[in-house]
Structures are given as structure tokens and as C-alpha cells.
């Protein structure tokens, strides 16, 4: 169950044996990074035409936990790309009378704010399509030169038949795919399975010059080109939602491996989908909840708790009741921690911590790591946090626990939370920036005569204890 080209990494770092379910191998495999001590991670990020919804928040939070966990043992380079030009962005810009770069910039800022609100640690890199155009074009040129791609009427397509491995990630072979493909006949393509690398610009569309004329890249090529530029020919972990397995990741593999002849990613990780009240979230059903709105109504810690209470490879049903339960669970932990803090501030006993309790704390720490290193089993890791709560409550009963024991317990809570990010630290309250952003949004809604939205934001702020005052100088706000 080991990978080719494996290194002696595990022996050289203090990492536990970590097993990751690899979509390609269809089983858990021992994690060994290509370069000892270093991990490269690439997760396909958002197409920045709108705010992210809570479905998008699932990979955001889950891969943040993977990043946080691996960071303890490895030097991790974590890249999340921004697709800042594509059909959806062009359409949305047209609809709203804005320019694509302005729309993208605004949504990137919003994404970064939301990621921070949801307590995701910053990624190392956020490469953008528009800032890597030279590399993307050079990648396509190489594919054309080497016979893997062809130009057709200003577009460029990947000739899927030249890459026998096409389908290996989603476990389909080329014949099956051809047989099953209901893709409409497109005379620009030599075969229906060929996919676009470069799209000729329509009149008036944003475009870049290229050897094939003005145009823009297709979606798949950006990840191959940017992953190679920033992380090298082979990345350790490639992640995303399971909808990306086919065709997106399959196409990335074809492009990258055609050029390099090396495995594109050593481990492929895919999160299952999030449903809202047992329904798929979709624009047509009108049940899309944006992450920002939810995070304004609920503690981000409760959102993370709920997201991490289901294993990432299982579908997650997101409900208000689930959030309520998450809040109750968190409250049990928070109560325990505030008692702990209080006792620590007033502890008088400097007796050594009892050996049997220390042993049990070690067992809890061991269980936490055993679960996290078993394909990031966050629900069971959360169970370990509750075992710590029970142990802490027992130790604190009577009020005479020695300070050294209380510090051990506090340290273990912090150690676990460095990975999960579900506990509130002092100063984590609603930030002024967030309030001001909501007020801005309300002002914009009123300008656009969207009074329903404006009222909704006023009510939301009110429920958060914020009062708005209309003054001649503009809106002022204060906490109730
Ligand atoms: P998109 O902007 O649609 O490309 O999505 C960004 C990321 O969110 C991708 O990894 C998607 O697979 C993921 N994603 C989108 N919708 C959901 C959902 N309902 N549940 C879980 N992941 C999702
Ligand atoms: Zn991608």
C-alpha cells in the first residue's frame, strides 16, 4: 500500500502514520510526501462570480483542517486557486453592468473575508488565472507542439485519445466514456470527448492575445499550469468537491501527465456534497444559503463543528436543528473551558498532577491523533474532545485540582483546537469590519430599491445586538 517514488519522510519527521483515502486507488493509503518533510497541497478554489455558499464552505473548512493537521508535522505549501475569468463571470459582469476584473476582485475580497470569518487559516498561495496567463498559454503551446492538442477555429482542444489514462481517476475507460457520452456533436472538435484548452473570444468579451488569436483559457488548464508553476510536476495532495472528479480532475491529469510523464498528484481527496434540509442546494430551487449570511446569524465555530461532525466522504445534511445541536455541544465544551480558566486563575495547589489522570489524558491525545490520522476522521476526533471534557469535569469536581493538572488539560484542549478550530478564543467576537460590510450591503440594497434585502440586513444586525441610526452624515451604528 505504498506509493512509487516514496521517500523516507515518515522516518525523518515526527508525523504519525497518516492514511488518506485516495480516490484514484479507491482505498486508504499511507501518506508519504514526495519530498521528506514537505507537503504540497492544491485545492480547486472558487469561481469568483458571487459570494460563496455553504456548500463551498464544506471544502473550505475541511481542507483547512487537513492543512492545520499536516502543518503540525510538515512544511506545507497550500494553494487554492481563484478562477477569475470564465463564462459565469462574463455573464454576471454583463448582467450587472460591471467589468470582469472589478467583479472578480470584489468576490475575491469577499471570499478572503468569509474564509477568515470561518476561521480558515490563510492558504500559502492564491494563484489567479489572469495573473498566470503567460504560463497557461505556454502550457497549451507545449501540448499543441507535442501533438496532444489542436487548434480549431481559434479554439484549442485536447485530443483525449492521445492520453490512454483518461478516465483513470473516475474509473471509466475511454470506450465507456465514448459510448456513454451524450455530448452534443460539436464540429469544432475531432472527437466528442476532446475538451477545450483555449476559447476564442466573442466580440466584446474580455480576452488575451495568444498564438491562436484573442481568447481566454478553458477551465481545466488553469489548474495544471498553476499547480506546475507553484508546486512542481507532482503535487502531494490534490483536493476538491467530488463533482470535480470528472471531468475537471480527469482533464487536469491528462494535460499535466501528457507534458511531464509523471504522476500529477500522489493523493486525490474529494469531499462529498452538502445538502440543505435533505435537498440539493441550487439556484432553481431557490435554497442557496450564502456562507456570509449564515456566519452572521450563527457562531462560525458552530458552523465548523457541524461541518466536521460528518466525515468528509459522507454527504452532509445541513439543517437549523443540526446547528442547534452543534451549538449545544459547543456550549458543553465552552462551559468546561470557562470553569477551567476560572480554576486556573484561582488555583492554590501546586501538587504534582496525578499520574493516573495524566495517563488518561495521554490516551485521549492518542485517540485524537489516531482518528485524525485515519483519513481525517473529524467526527471521532470531536468525540475525543468530549472525552477530554468528561475527564476535565471529573478532575475539577471538588475545586481542588492542582494547577499543573489544569494546565495539562488546558494545553490538550488547545492542541486539539489548533486542528479543529471549533473553540472560541478571547477576542473572537463579531468584528467591526463585518458589521460595516453588512451596513454597506444594506445601503447598496436600498439604493437598488431592494428593500426586502435591506430590511433583512437591518433585522440581522438587530439580532446581533447592533442598532442603526440614520444621521445626516450617513449611517451610524452602536452595540445595544
Ligand atoms: P465552484 O465555485 O462551484 O467551482 O465550487 C468550489 C468548490 O466547492 C468545489 O470544490 C466544489 O466541488 C465545492 N462545492 C460546490 N457545491 C458544493 C456542495 N453543495 N457541497 C460540497 N461541496 C461543494
Ligand atoms: Zn482544478
Q: Residue 120 pLDDT > 80, yes or no?
A: yes
Q: Which residue, by CA, sits nearest to atom 7 of ligand 1?
A: 56
Rounded distance, CA 124 to CA 78, Å? Answer: 5
Q: What are phi and psi of 479, to 5 degrees?
A: -85, 140
Buried b / exposed e along 458-478 (16+ C-beta atoms within 10 A) = beebeeeebebeeeeeeeeee
CA of 471 to the centre of ligand 2 (A): 48
DSSP 351-409: PPPPHHHHHHHHHHHHHHHHHHTBT--HHHHHHHHHHHHHHHHHHHTTS---HHHHHHH
Q: Give the pLDDT score at 246.
A: 95
Cβ contact 359:366 at 8 Å: no
Q: Residue 166 pLDDT > 80, yes or no?
A: yes
CA of 229 to the centre of ligand 1 (A): 24
Rounded distance, CA 417 to CA 361, Å? Answer: 15
Residues 208-238 have pLDDT tens digits of 999 999 999 999 999 999 999 999 999 999 9
Q: Can you tell me which atom of ligand 1 is nearest the CA of 244?
A: 12
CA of 248 to the centre of ligand 2 (A): 6
Q: Residue 5 pLDDT > 70, yes or no?
A: no
Q: Give the pLDDT score at 10.
A: 42
CA of 90 to the centre of ligand 1 (A): 20
With the most atoms of ligand 1 within 8 angstroms of its CB, the residue from 239, 241, 310 to mutate is 241
Cβ contact 174:193 at 8 Å: yes
Q: Which residue, by CA, sits nearest to atom 6 of ligand 1?
A: 46
Q: Give the pLDDT score at 179.
A: 66
Rounded distance, CA 255 to CA 249, Å? Answer: 10
Strands (E), 55-97: 75-80
CA of 36 to the centre of ligand 2 (A): 25
> Which bound ligand lies closest to the C-alpha atom of 265?
2
CA of 55 to the centre of ligand 1 (A): 6
pLDDT, mean of residues 158-169: 95
With the most atoms of ligand 1 within 8 angstroms of its CB, the residue from 54, 59, 63, 271 to mutate is 59
Q: Give the pLDDT score at 71.
A: 97
Q: Which of 55-59, 264-268, 459-463 has the lowest mean pLDDT?
A: 459-463
Q: Give the pLDDT score at 200.
A: 97
pLDDT, mean of residues 102-106: 97
Q: Residue 12 pLDDT > 90, yes or no?
A: no
> Any residues with Cβ below 6 Å from ligand 1, and which?
44, 46-47, 55-56, 58-59, 240-241, 243-244, 271, 273-274, 281
Q: Residue 11 pLDDT > 70, yes or no?
A: no
> Mean pLDDT over all residues of the chain?
91
Q: Which residue, by CA, sits nearest to atom 19 of ligand 1?
A: 55
CA of 330 to the centre of ligand 1 (A): 26
Contact residues for 15 (Cβ-Cβ < 8 A; gap 6+): 9, 73, 74
Count, residues in the chain: 480
Residues 333-373 have pLDDT tens digits of 999 999 999 999 988 888 999 999 999 999 999 999 999 99
Q: Which residue, by CA, sits nearest to atom 11 of ligand 1?
A: 241
pLDDT band at 460 (very low <50, low <70, confident <90, very high): confident
Strands (E), 272-375: 274-276, 316-318
232 or 464, higher pLDDT: 232
Please count the CA atoms within 13 angstroms of the CA of 349 that sit on its side-chain side: 16
CA dihedral 65, 67, 68, 74 (to 10 degrees): 150
Rounded distance, CA 139 to CA 147, Å? Answer: 13
Rounded distance, CA 43 to CA 23, Å? Answer: 14
> Which bound ligand lies closest to the C-alpha atom of 79?
2
Q: Residue 6 pLDDT > 50, yes or no?
A: no
Q: Which residue, by CA, sits nearest to atom 14 of ligand 1?
A: 56
Contact residues for 202 (Cβ-Cβ < 8 A; gap 6+): none
Q: Residue 184 pLDDT > 70, yes or no?
A: no
CA of 268 to the centre of ligand 2 (A): 12
Cβ contact 216:85 at 8 Å: yes
Query: What would you report as the CA-atom Rg of the chain, rounded to the nearest whole angstrom?
Result: 25
Q: Residue 181 pLDDT > 90, yes or no?
A: no
Contact residues for 94 (Cβ-Cβ < 8 A; gap 6+): none
CA of 382 to the centre of ligand 2 (A): 30
Q: Give the pLDDT score at 19.
A: 98
Q: Residue 2 pLDDT > 80, yes or no?
A: no
Q: Give the pLDDT score at 4.
A: 45
Q: Can you tell me which atom of ligand 1 is nearest the CA of 44?
A: 10
Q: How far is CA 178 from the centre of its chain?
A: 32
469 or 465, higher pLDDT: 469
Q: Give the pLDDT score at 454.
A: 83
What 3 state SS string does 189-229 have? CCCCCCEEEEEECCCCCCCECCCCCCEEECHHHHHHHHHHH
> Which bound ligand lies closest to the C-alpha atom of 226?
2
> Which bound ligand lies closest to the C-alpha atom of 59?
1
Residues 394-415 have pLDDT tens digits of 999 988 899 999 999 999 999 9
Rounded distance, CA 271 to CA 252, Å? Answer: 18
**How do the residues of the chain divide into helix, strand and coil, expressed in percent and rounded to 5?**
50, 15, 35
Q: Residue 74 pLDDT > 80, yes or no?
A: yes
pLDDT, mean of residues 127-150: 98
**Percent of the chain's residues with pLDDT above 70:** 93
Q: Give the pLDDT score at 467.
A: 79
> Which bound ligand lies closest to the C-alpha atom of 249?
2
pLDDT band at 432 (very low <50, low <70, confident <90, very high): low
Amino acid at each position: 500500500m505504498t506509493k512509487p517514488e516514496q521517500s523516507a519522510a515518515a522516518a525523518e519527521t515526527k508525523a504519525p502514520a497518516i492514511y488518506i483515502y485516495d480516490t484514484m486507488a479507491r482505498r486508504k493509503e499511507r501518506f508519504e510526501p514526495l519530498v521528506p518533510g514537505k507537503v504540497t497541497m492544491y485545492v480547486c478554489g472558487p469561481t469568483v462570480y458571487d459570494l460563496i455558499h455553504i456548500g463551498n464552505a464544506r471544502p473550505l473548512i475541511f481542507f483547512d483542517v487537513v492543512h492545520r493537521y499536516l502543518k503540525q508535522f510538515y512544511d506545507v505549501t497550500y494553494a487554492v486557486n481563484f478562477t477569475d475569468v470564465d463564462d459565469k463571470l462574463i455573464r454576471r459582469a454583463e448582467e450587472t453592468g460591471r467589468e470582469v476584473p472589478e467583479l472578480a476582485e470584489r468576490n475575491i475580497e469577499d471570499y478572503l473575508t468569509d474564509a477568515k470569518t470561518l476561521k480558515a487559516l490563510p492558504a500559502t498561495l492564491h494563484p489567479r488565472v489572469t495573473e498566470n496567463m503567460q504560463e497557461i498559454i505556454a502550457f497549451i503551446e507545449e501540448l499543441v507542439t507535442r501533438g496532444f492538442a489542436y487548434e480549431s477555429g481559434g479554439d484549442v482542444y485536447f485530443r483525449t485519445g492521445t492520453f490512454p489514462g483518461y478516465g483513470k481517476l473516475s474509473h471509466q475507460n475511454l470506450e465507456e466514456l465514448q459510448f456513454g457520452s451524450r455530448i452534443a456533436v460539436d464540429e469544432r472538435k475531432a472527437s466528442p470527448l476532446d475538451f477545450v484548452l483555449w476559447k476564442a473570444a466573442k466580440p466584446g468579451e474580455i480576452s488575451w492575445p495568444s498564438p491562436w488569436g484573442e481568447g481566454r483559457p478553458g477551465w481545466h488548464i488553469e489548474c495544471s499550469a498553476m499547480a506546475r508553476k507553484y508546486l512542481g510536476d507532482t503535487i502531494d495532495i490534490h483536493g476538491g468537491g467530488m463533482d470535480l472528479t470528472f471531468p475537471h480532475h480527469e482533464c487536469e491529469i491528462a494535460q499535466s501527465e501528457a507534458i511531464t510523464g509523471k504522476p500529477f498528484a500522489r493523493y486525490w481527496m474529494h469531499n462529498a456534497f452538502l445538502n440543505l434540509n435533505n435537498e440539493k442546494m441550487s439556484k432553481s430551487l431557490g435554497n442557496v444559503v450564502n456562507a456570509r449570511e449564515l456566519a452572521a446569524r450563527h457562531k462560525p465555530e458552530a458552523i465548523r463543528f457541524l461541518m466536521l461532525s460528518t466525515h468528509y466522504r459522507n454527504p452532509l445534511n445541513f439543517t437549523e436543528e443540526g446547528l442547534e445541536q452543534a451549538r449545544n455541544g459547543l456550549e458543553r465544551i465552552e462551559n468546561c473551558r470557562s470553569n477551567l480558566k476560572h480554576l486556573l486563575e484561582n488555583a492554590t495547589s501546586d501538587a504534582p498532577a496525578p499520574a493516573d489522570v495524566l495517563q488518561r489524558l495521554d490516551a485521549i491525545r492518542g485517540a485524537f491523533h489516531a482518528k485524525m490520522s485515519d483519513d481525517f476522521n473529524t467526527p471521532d476526533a470531536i468525540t475525543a474532545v468530549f472525552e477530554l471534557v468528561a475527564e476535565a469535569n471529573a478532575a475539577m469536581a471538588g475545586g481542588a485540582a492542582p494547577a499543573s493538572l489544569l494546565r495539562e488539560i488546558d494545553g490538550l484542549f488547545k492542541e486539539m483546537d489548533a486542528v479543529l478550530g471549533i473553540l472560541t478564543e478571547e477576542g473572537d467576537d463579531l468584528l467591526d469590519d463585518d458589521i460595516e460590510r453588512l451596513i454597506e450591503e444594506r445601503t447598496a440594497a436600498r439604493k437598488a430599491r431592494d428593500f426586502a434585502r435591506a430590511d433583512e440586513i437591518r433585522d440581522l444586525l438587530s439580532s446581533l445586538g447592533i442598532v442603526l441610526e440614520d444621521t445626516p452624515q450617513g449611517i451610524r451604528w452602536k452595540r445595544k
